[in-house]
Amino acid sequence: MKPKTMIYFMNDQDKNEISYKLKMLMRSAVVATLAYENFHNDCQVSLTFTDNEGIKKLNSEFRGIDSATDVLSFPLIDFCGGEEPPADEHEIMLGDIVISLQRAEEQAKEFGHSFEREAAFLCVHSMLHLLGYDHVDSEEDDLEMRRRQSEILDSIGLSVK
């Protein structure tokens, strides 16, 4: 039986339209990441769209960094990358993803690809953080996370050029 994935969308900005197509793209990115990681439990993810001002406030409050960023991840479970979820929980709340759509738009232009590709990348990146992966501690971890992101984006037709 296919696992159930609930995604709770919130919009905390007014600079970018939140279309049904964007929500379905984010859903595809979440589901593709879970499938890639062989995560077979029912789960929940909260995904908030914000702008540079909103993410700067969160970045300052939670990380002590007084600047805007592209995406923040707030995991609710302390996984090690690739670790199995708790066996006694049927449905798992993985955590919260906050994406600055304003920054995603800026980065898409900077990197020469579509806004959709950049937003999906940020969602996949954040999902990997929710599942316990990190890229800050070592170059090897960074390369591993980049490989996973690339393969997941390939699986939904958004290959990195």
For 103-140, the pLDDT digits (tens) are 999 999 999 999 999 999 999 999 999 999 887 778 88
Angle between helices 115-130 and 20-36 (to 10 degrees): 40
User: Token pair for residue 139?
Assistant: 């170059």
Using CA atoms, how far apart are residues 38 and 9, in angstroms rounded to an integer? 24
Q: In whole angstroms, what is the distance from residue 89 CA to residue 43 CA?
A: 10
Residues 33-60: tens digit of each pLDDT: 999 999 988 999 999 999 999 999 999 9
Overall number of domains in the chain? 1
106: containing domain: 5-155
Tell me if 160 is assigned to some domain.
no
Encoded tokens for 43: 């789960």
Does 38 reside within a domain?
Answer: yes
Domain assignment present for residue 107? The answer is yes
Q: Looking at residue 132, which CATH number applies to its domain?
A: 3.40.390.30
17 found inside a domain:
yes
Residue 101 inside a domain? The answer is yes
Is residue 54 within 8 Å of 42, Cβ to Cβ? no
Is 161 inside any structural domain?
no
pTM: 0.92
Residue 96 within any structural domain of the chain: yes
